Amino acid sequence: MKILFGYAGGRSGLETMFSDTYDESFNDSTKVANWAKAPMYWAVYNNIISGMDGGLNPEGATTRAQMSKILVEYLNKEGIK
């Protein structure tokens, strides 16, 4: 998320309005590193990721299928076909 977040121009500001909501919504939000919160919440805000099983799994590995979906969602968000 950090790479896509940076590529998209970084913080838009809108996702930060929902930081408290996201902290409460995801059962593992305390495991998201401080430097990664803005990129993760940006991705949630922009529907690039939605989490699974009530969490974001910030310490887990991303599968190829998950990464493919992330990239497709990002490209759709940016209007790239």
Q: Which domain range does residue 19 map to? A: 2-78
Q: How far is CA 26 from the centre of its chain?
A: 12
**Percentage with pLDDT > 90 across the chain:** 70
Going by the DSSP 8-state scheme, the letter that residue 71 receives in this structure is H
pTM for the structure as a whole: 0.86
Q: How many domains does the chain have?
A: 1
pLDDT at position 18:
85
**What is the gyration radius of the CA atoms in the chain, in angstroms?**
12
Residue 11 above 80 pLDDT? no
Examine the pLDDT at 66 and tell me if it is beyond 90: yes
Q: Which band of pLDDT confidence, cut at 50, 70 and 90, is reported for residue 68?
A: very high
Q: What angle do CA 61, 73, 52 make, to 5 degrees?
A: 45
Q: Which H helix or E strand runs over 20?
A: helix 19-25
Q: Answer whether residue 44 shows pLDDT above 80.
A: yes
